[in-house]
Amino acid sequence: MVQTTSIIRTDRWTLNPTASQPVLLSQTVEIYRRVCRHLMGILLTHWPSLGALSSQKRVLAVEKLIHQTAKNPNPKYRQFDQTFYKFPSYYRRAAIVFAAGQVSSYMTRYQEWQSGTRQRRDAKPPVLNPNSGCYPTLYKGQCYKLHGYSHIEIKVFNGTDWVWTTVGISSLRERHTVDSNKLRSPALIVNEQKRACHLSVPFECHPLQREGEGRVVSVDLGINTTATVAVVNFDGTVTYREFIHPGRDIDRRDKRLKSVSQRASQTMGHGGSLQKGFCSHTYRKCRNINRQIGQIVSKHIVQIAQQFNVDAIVFENLKGWKAKGGRKRSNLRQRFHGWLKGMIRDLTEMKWQEIGGKVIDVVAAYTSKLAYDGSGVVRRDSKNYALAKFSSGKRYNADLNGALNIAARGILQLTRRKDSEERSSQCSRRSPRSWACLCDLWTSTVRG
């Protein structure tokens, strides 16, 4: 197996502190943010000389300005050590890196504004926000010590001094069990509103490239059925088919969205306007439901791909696609607006790449309009738009027909070096070569 390039994935490790430990963790985050605000002013003042340096040299230069040592007895900003007494060196360096990133972003945006690159002619200049809501990065050995995967020892601030405290880990995922994954420096996240805290733990993953068994999984994303999946061999044999449609979650989302229009009509009456943030909590819940739908569908697609040990997962290239059908404020327009084509595709790619898989995008034109058996253009049933009528009179599911054609184009892209997804014939009477169908795999297999 060939090792692919590294990718970064992040796990959430939920902490189970005692009654007194949340105060210590909150104080640690608070003083870290104070340090970052202090450093942003210093970096902004000296940015003409610090901006051109590399990250490592910039950290050393800032430490020379603020931290007193035997070799640096007279730093320019002596008040830093007085204000933040005994502040740990690794926390300080993490704060310098974060503050430098904030100042660099601000200077880039400000220079673009000065040069005239603006969204509006009267756009106001960007502002450096020192209250950025950052969280401390923990370095191994200096800021945290991991005792198995049940407890972690963290250096925290108790109000007067820096001490070590051991916090229990209540839940974690499985990425730490993979030998090829390398644990990076986690971040301490404290949510004071929910009174919860956890570690955001990044992993550098080095998955091995999968060797399939000569088949692909094709996915047709639609508005009638969330995802139609087909497993097709390279010779055109259809091995498996499935319709994935989490209807319960979709109904929950649509019910909430419908309540928005009812509340809006009651608020506005026959005229008027809605205030900013109207039904923001409802929209937030709907976004979370959409996220859950994307996670459920993408996880099931990857499970099917693992079950049949496929070479790739094939999607239609729908980037930049916009709906043309449906009147304004109609139900069809609302269904297009809630179509999760991009989210499902991206989540599937992230999950599949983590285990060494490959995702392919093919031309979307005429995947559902052409019959998979090569009989020509299909006609949609006027009473049931989900059904397609072939020229031979056969009725077939339109989404499944599209999934089979998507699989054919993905297989041709994998097996041919040039003119991927092309037809085997270049006859001018046939459709364009990018409009390949499943029948093209049958003819190429017979001819071979």
Amino acid at site 348: T
pLDDT value for 426: 47
pLDDT value for 427: 47
Mean pLDDT computed over every residue of the chain? 88
Residue 225's closest CA among 393, 108, 387, 98? 387
The secondary structure of 168-211 as a DSSP string is EEEE--SGGG-TT-EE---EEEEETTTTEEEEEEEEEE-PBPP-
| In the predicted structure, residue 303 carries a pLDDT above the cut 60 | yes
| In the predicted structure, residue 421 carries a pLDDT above the cut 60 | no
Taking residues 90-108, what's their average pLDDT? 96
Cα(274)–Cα(49) distance, rounded to whole angstroms? 49
pLDDT value for 4: 59
| In the predicted structure, residue 424 carries a pLDDT above the cut 50 | no
Residue 113's closest CA among 130, 129, 127? 127
Taking residues 288-303, what's their average pLDDT? 95
pLDDT value for 326: 66
pLDDT value for 270: 62
pLDDT value for 431: 46
| In the predicted structure, residue 442 carries a pLDDT above the cut 70 | yes
> In Å, how far from its chain's centre is CA 355?
16
Amino acid at site 8: I
- Could you tell me the pTM of the whole model? 0.81
**Number of Cβ within a 10 Å radius of residue 180:** 12
Query: Beta 312-316 vs 359-362: how paired, if at all?
Result: parallel
pLDDT, one tens digit per residue, over 115-152 is: 988 888 889 999 999 888 899 999 999 999 999 999 99
pLDDT value for 291: 95
Taking residues 261-283, what's their average pLDDT? 80
Q: Are 393 and 381 in contact (CB under 8 A)?
A: no
Cα(68)–Cα(18) distance, rounded to whole angstroms? 36
Q: Are 145 and 153 in contact (CB under 8 A)?
A: yes
**Which pair of tokens denotes residue 81?**
């050590």
* Lowest mean per-residue pLDDT among 28-37, 382-391, 426-435: 426-435
Amino acid at site 109: R
Q: Are 351 and 302 in contact (CB under 8 A)?
A: yes
Percent of the chain with pLDDT over 70: 92
Percent of the chain with pLDDT over 90: 63
Taking residues 31-35, what's their average pLDDT? 96
Cα(100)–Cα(46) distance, rounded to whole angstroms? 11
| In the predicted structure, residue 211 carries a pLDDT above the cut 70 | yes
